[in-house]
Structure 1
Amino acid sequence: MSIKPHVHIPYRKFYDYIDIIQREKLNLEIYFDGVSLDEIDKKAILRLKDSLSYNPFLSFHGPFLDLSPGAVDPRVRDITIERFNQVLDIAEILYPKCIVFHSGYDKWKYAFKVNIWLEQSLFTWERILKKAESLKIKIAIENIFEEEPESLKLLMDKFSSPFFGICFDTGHFNLFSKKALEEWISTLGPFIFEFHLHDNNGGFDEHLSIGSGSFDLKKLFSLFDKRDYVYTIEAHNAEEVFKSIKKFNELINLD
């Protein structure tokens, strides 16, 4: 059995790489930022669908800059929900397996008061999850600045939906975590839908090819059954992407 990873591609860059995408028949994770969401219409979505006539597996990455699903300010929260719903509108046509959104939690912004973030987050995710469940599309919340897995576990424990889970990001773990990898996987493992795979050297979010920095991917793969997840390569240029795919195939070691 083999697993073919997804490759992260911003929607605004999609047609720059269309020849490579179609030639290699890549599975994709398409990122929609705010500008893309304002520009895209149904005709453009159908054009995108036609460009993917080789029927790849898809996932989406939602917008995150300036957004805050746990915002205390209701207007900020409302525009966040509006943006997320725009992504779900596209999903109604393209049907990705999973949509990744950022958690929005930063201990400094919330003055270490995780319950403030959690309470406001529930308002957001209850509304997004309802639509995602109707489409049978999974929502995966990605770790960013979290130093430990417990805050995300608090969020997971508030829902019992098979369509609400975690995207574990290796690069962000490598930068910000103060807990061991084993503890993250032990705590969040039952909720993980997807892995974002990229590397760095612990000082900056470099988005290097996997194996080019200090993250121990071999150790990660030893901690769980490797089959039933979306794996997304998040290297930031074509050369690094294909280096990552090669390394991924070497390390996944499926029997």
Structure 2
Amino acid sequence: MKIYISQLDEFSKLEHIVKEFNVGLEIVTFANAMVLDSKEQYTSELRGYINKVSNVSFHGPFSDLVPGTNDPEIRRVVNKRFTQAFNIAREFNSQRIIYHSGCIPHTYWEKQWVENSKAFWKGFAKDKLDLMEIHIENVFDEDYPLIADIIDEVNHPNFSACLDIGHVNTCSTKSIEHWIKGLNNRIGHVHLHNNEGVLDNHQGLNKGNINMIKTLELLKGYCPEATWALEVFDIKELQESLQFLKSNCFF
């Protein structure tokens, strides 16, 4: 099992955790699209510590970026921002990049949104999937079929879902088990954190109302090849979560 921790704090505070647990790092610096306009400043800083990490993953930009939009000008901007992030991830030999689905329920007719999304992702990913894995992450999505439809349409082994279990717990009325069984081996990457089902507050694995042991066993059973990334804000809870995974033989 390949495990990453998300770069949700300064690397100086995470470096000892990366070494102690021998995990990869998921870079979130470029999840803010505005950072892409000051690329050199941030890539220079990143080069200062990236050689201390064995495995790297990147989180792409997401705020206000909706691949399924009807507006061709917005699609142009989405493509630009996603491509900028992809190219930076390539510079750092990232093995994967994660983008949000951009789905906000009830703002589009579902069929229209999924058809727009299929067209966007087929165009965006066609010359990239032999270079890096691309994962679509659920956020506000109510159910998995829209993401599943997009993945099936693109139909490439390096194009898959990033299942965020904390987002399911706060934003979907469907169970995490329902999502895991439905997406099945379409899941290539997983974001792990816990909450009480109200706020997306990225707590440690042993804090919140998600039955974590059951969830992790389901993930192992239905998508055993998927990589996992811990998205936990608090450093102490992050360490406790890694120890939780080790103590329960998940890595």
- Once the two structures are superposed, the pairs formed by residues 196-215 of structure 1 within 5 Å of their partners are 196-215=191-210
- The alpha carbon displacement at 1:199 in A equals 0.7
Displaced runs of 4+ in structure 1, greater than 6 A? Answer: none
| Count of residue pairs the alignment pairs up | 246
SS in 1 for 2:161: strand
1:119 aligned to 2:119? no
- Once the two structures are superposed, the pairs formed by residues 118-197 of structure 1 within 5 Å of their partners are 118-135=114-131, 137-197=132-192
2:228 maps to a residue whose letter is Y
Deviation track 1:186-213 (CA, whole Å, cap 9, x = no partner) reads 2101211111001110111111011200
1:206 maps to a residue whose letter is N
1:34 aligned to 2:33? yes
- The alpha carbon displacement at 1:222 in A equals 2.0
SS in 2 for 1:120: helix
Aligned to 1:102: 100
**Quick one: which of 32, 42, 45 aligns to 2:43?**
45
1:243 aligned to 2:240? yes
SS in 1 for 2:5: strand
2:49 maps to a residue whose letter is S
Any conservation in 1 of the 2:203–2:237 contact (CA below 8 Å)?
yes
2:78 maps to a residue whose letter is T
CA distance in 2, matches of 1:157, 1:229: 17
2:185 maps to a residue whose letter is P
SS in 2 for 1:199: coil
1:208 maps to a residue whose letter is Q
Structure 1 gaps, min length 5? none
CA distance in 2, matches of 1:55, 1:36: 22
2:101 maps to a residue whose letter is S
1:92 maps to a residue whose letter is R
- The alpha carbon displacement at 1:49 in A equals 3.8
Q: TM-score, normalised by structure 1?
A: 0.87
CA RMSD of aligned residues (A): 2.2
CA distance in 2, matches of 1:23, 1:253: 18
SS in 2 for 1:48: helix
Structure 2 gaps, min length 5? none
CA distance in 2, matches of 1:51, 1:253: 27
1:120 maps to a residue whose letter is N
Any conservation in 2 of the 1:5–1:245 contact (CA below 8 Å)?
no
Q: TM-score, normalised by structure 2?
A: 0.88
Any conservation in 2 of the 1:143–1:172 contact (CA below 8 Å)?
yes
SS in 2 for 1:53: helix
Aligned to 1:89: 87
